[in-house]
Amino acid sequence: MKKMDVIFRQVFFKNLKSKTWLWIVLGPLVLAAVFGGVFWLMNQTNQTSKIGVVTSSPALTSTLKASSDADQRYISYSSTAAAKRAMADEDLDGVLTISTQPTTHASLIERTDGNGINQTQLQSVLAQAHTKEVAAQLKLSTTQLQGLFATPQLATTSVSVDKGKLVSRSAKTQKSGAMVGFILGMLIYTFVISYASMMAQEIGTEKGSRIEESILTAITPQAQFFGKLLGILALMAVQMAIYGVVTLAGGLLLQRLPKNPLSSLMTNIDLSGISLNMLLFSLAFFFVGTLTYTVLAALTGSLVANQEQIGQATTPIVMLGML
């Protein structure tokens, strides 16, 4: 046990201080920070589009103003010339001119360097406004109009088969399960590529430099193998602990921000669908998967004759992990 402990400490502390392991730990964090920053900037730059409305119908004007939201805002102007002057001053992103004679007709002038205008939403608003205009001409009441265009409600329930029984599952729960599976798969693949190569490098370097024969005269192959394996697993545990601390600290920091950039993303995630059994099975798959590939890397690393052949020896493992 003492000799295996010496091998464990040598592998653990040597790689803990290396720049390679530091990049293995910081690389995913840097990528996550970059993607999070891009997502935050996209939300920050998503400004409200301003559309100037020119029409002689007060009903159309009031309907369009009532349809304003965080994405598009409708502003009334007395003439097309005034609206165009406002657009030239970059106060508007578009000018919407609506004519009601002989039939309702609308034309849009959009500024190419302004905020994008959702024309699908605009057409829906125009259709709604036109419907109210026609209803007013036909002297239909609000109740009659609502009854005419009322849409039957459709209730949808997602279910899954569990031991011959139907179990209700929401769409958010399915998305959460798929998200956890994707994250778990990416973590396993990342750890396999990183630590399998590190394990093969440890054994292949010693064998290629002819130090292996000297080591085996003082220690058994089993003690050397398990010492290196425990050292690599300890490095993996440290990395996972760092990720856990960073995730917890990041979550607490986001909660303190006045405008959480991930609030819109979290609304589509149902954490209640992630059960304890799911987490335990995920951790079990993660541990068994990384352990299996690390052992395979150690076996292939022992087959090389020199250090230059380590990359070729670990290629089948990498391809198997990709599959």
Whether the predicted pLDDT of 12 surpasses 80: yes
Distance CA 210, CA 201 (A): 14
Q: Is residue 238 part of a domain?
A: yes
**275 and 179 fall within a common domain:** yes
pLDDT tens sequence across 269-292: 555 556 677 778 878 887 888 888
What pLDDT score does 169 carry? Answer: 61
**210 and 318 fall within a common domain:** yes
DSSP string, 63-86: HHHHT--SSEEEEE-S-HHHHHHH
Q: Determine what percent of the chain falls in helix, strand and coil, rounding each to the nearest 5.
A: 65, 10, 25
- Region 300-318: mean pLDDT is 73
Question: Among candidates 88, 124, 89, which has minimal Cα distance to 106?
Answer: 124
pLDDT tens sequence across 115-145: 778 788 778 877 777 777 777 777 777 777 6
pLDDT tens sequence across 149-190: 677 777 766 666 667 776 666 555 666 667 777 777 777 777
Phi, psi values for residue 194, rounded to 5°: -75, -55
pLDDT tens sequence across 253-272: 766 765 555 555 555 555 55
Distance CA 252, CA 182 (A): 24
Q: pTM of this prediction? A: 0.57
CB atoms under 10 Å from CB of 102, counted, come to 6
Q: What is the mean pLDDT of the chain?
A: 76
What pLDDT score does 105 carry? Answer: 77
Q: Is residue 164 part of a domain?
A: no
CA distances for 184 relative to 34, 199, 282, angstroms = 20, 21, 7
Using DSSP bridges, classify how beta strands 94-99 and 165-168 pair: parallel, antiparallel or unpaired: unpaired
Whether the predicted pLDDT of 249 surpasses 80: yes
Which residues neighbour 239 within 8 Å (Cβ) at sequence distance 6 or greater?
Answer: 24, 25, 191
Confidence of residue 2 (pLDDT cuts 50, 70, 90): confident
CB atoms under 10 Å from CB of 115, counted, come to 18
Question: Among candidates 5, 20, 33, which has minimal Cα distance to 202?
Answer: 20
**214 and 318 fall within a common domain:** yes
Question: Residue 122 burial by CB count (10 A; 0-12/13-18/19+): exposed, middle or buried?
Answer: buried
Whether the predicted pLDDT of 210 surpasses 80: no
**314 and 288 fall within a common domain:** yes
Confidence of residue 33 (pLDDT cuts 50, 70, 90): confident
8 A C-beta contact, residue 126 and residue 72: no
Q: Name 107's bridge partners.
A: 97
Query: Which of these three, 89, 113, 146, is where a domain ends?
Result: 146
Residue 292: both structure tokens together: 């299996």
Residue 246, CB-side half-sphere exposure with 13 Å CA sphere? 13
Lowest mean pLDDT among 50-59, 147-156, 192-201: 147-156
**72 and 97 fall within a common domain:** yes
What pLDDT score does 131 carry? Answer: 75
Owning domain of residue 112 = 49-146
* Residue type, position 50, single letter: K
CATH of the domain at 121: 3.40.190.10
Q: Residue-wise over 250-275: b if at least 16 C-beta within 10 A, else e?
A: eeeeeeeeeeebbeeeeeebbeebbe
Q: Is residue 315 part of a domain?
A: yes
What pLDDT score does 128 carry? Answer: 76
**315 and 277 fall within a common domain:** yes
What pLDDT score does 90 carry? Answer: 81
**C-alpha distance across the termini of the chain, in Å:** 38
**96 and 195 fall within a common domain:** no
Q: Left (φ > 0), alpha (ψ -120 to 50) or beta: where does 274 sit?
A: beta
Q: Is residue 152 part of a domain?
A: no
Confidence of residue 70 (pLDDT cuts 50, 70, 90): confident
Q: Is residue 153 part of a domain?
A: no
Domains in the chain, number: 2
